[in-house]
Amino acid sequence: MKRAALVESILHKKSYLCTGIDPEVNKLPIHFPKHPDSLIEFNRNIIEATLPCSVAYKLNTAFFEQYGAKGWEILEQTKSFIPKNTFSIADAKRGDIGNTSSMYAKAFFDHMDFDAVTVAPYMGEDSLRPFLEFKDKWIICLALTSNTGSKDFQHLEFNQKRLFETVIETVCKWGNPDNLMFVTGATQASELSNIRKIIPEHFLLVPGVGAQGGTVDEVSTHGANDQIGLLVNSSRGILYAGNGEDYAQKASNAAKELQSQMQTWVEKLS
């Protein structure tokens, strides 16, 4: 998907919500059989219920891989429920030496036709380049993550810059705002203002709203640019909004609640 189409979708839906599909069998609504196959119906209904409010879906590969090859089948089926005009992200955090990263790029871009894949920067340029060679596809590079462990290495400082700032500055030279986004956690929203000074144009994928503690307003205050430039992710807050037969309606309501907070910000643009 091209950047213009993503921006258009944000303006149209008045939303920059990314719904995270991180399904767990033991958290399914109580009437579902506790079996991985149940995830297919659950995921399809969640996607259908949240589609009016979501401009993107992020499928975390770990939640599928725990079931091995069967889980990958469910991942592929779930991907097929996301309409082509809606931005799809494989949250896979991959990265390897050049010839190996190109296999991961084939897996997610060719075989499964995701629009974007999250990548880890530790192995440097040749580990990210193969992903950037795909037309109208995106990488979303880990920069400042939402977890407590983000302080262990990402905040290390050299030459008055922290590692995540150096990662952003360096990776920016390899891609551009049309094929490169960064992961910046909502739990460190005040950092978003500094990050915007380095990359005013790039989209930021912001996890950590909801269960992890961040809010739409904090993230948007510090992180929005003149095209919004944000995809704010919520996973557990939407997926498990209800655990009865009305789970899809509850998920829809949770998505609508976040969308309505975002609408204010989108309407400020015009």
Phi, psi at 20, each rounded to 5°: -90, 120
Our finding on whether 65 is near a second copy (CB under 8 A) is yes
Which helix (H) or strand (E) segment is 164 a member of? helix 163-171
User: What is the residue whose two structure tokens read 């509850």?
Assistant: 250
Catalytic residue among 14, 93, 161, 256: 93
Select from 11-19, 56-64, 221-229, 244-252 the region that touches a second copy (CB under 8 A): 56-64
Closer to a second copy by CB, 195 or 262: give it. Answer: 195
Regarding 36 and contact with a second copy (CB under 8 A), the answer is no
> CA-based Rg of the chain, rounded to a whole angstrom?
18
> Which among 248, 250, 141 has a CA at the least distance from the CA of 205?
141
Query: What is the DSSP secondary-structure string of 172-200?
Result: TTTS-TTTEEEEE-GGGTTHHHHHHHH-S
d(CA 29, CA 184): 31
**Residue 58 annotated to the active site:** no
**208 phi and psi, to 5 degrees?**
105, 0
In this structure, is the dihedral angle defined by the CA atoms of residues 128, 64, 82 and 221, taken in order, positive or negative? negative
Which residues 109-148 are close enough to bind a second copy by CB under 8 A? 110-112, 120-128, 142, 145-148
By beta-carbon proximity to a second copy, the closer residue of 131 and 203 is 131
Shortest reach from residue 126's CB to a second copy, in Å: 4
Q: Is the dihedral of CA 92, 149, 205, 86 positive or negative?
A: positive
Chosen residue from 96, 201, 218, 257 binding a second copy by CB under 8 A:
96
Q: Compute how many residues bind a second copy; rule: CB under 8 A.
A: 57
In terms of CB distance, is 207 or 229 closer to a second copy? 207
Q: Output 80 or 176, the one with its CB closest to a second copy.
A: 80
101 part of the interface to a second copy, by CB under 8 A:
yes
Interface contacts to a second copy, rule CB under 8 A: 22, 60, 62-63, 65-73, 75-76, 93-98, 100-101, 103-104, 106-107, 110-112, 120-128, 142, 145-154, 156-158, 163, 166-167, 170
Q: Which residues are catalytic?
A: 93
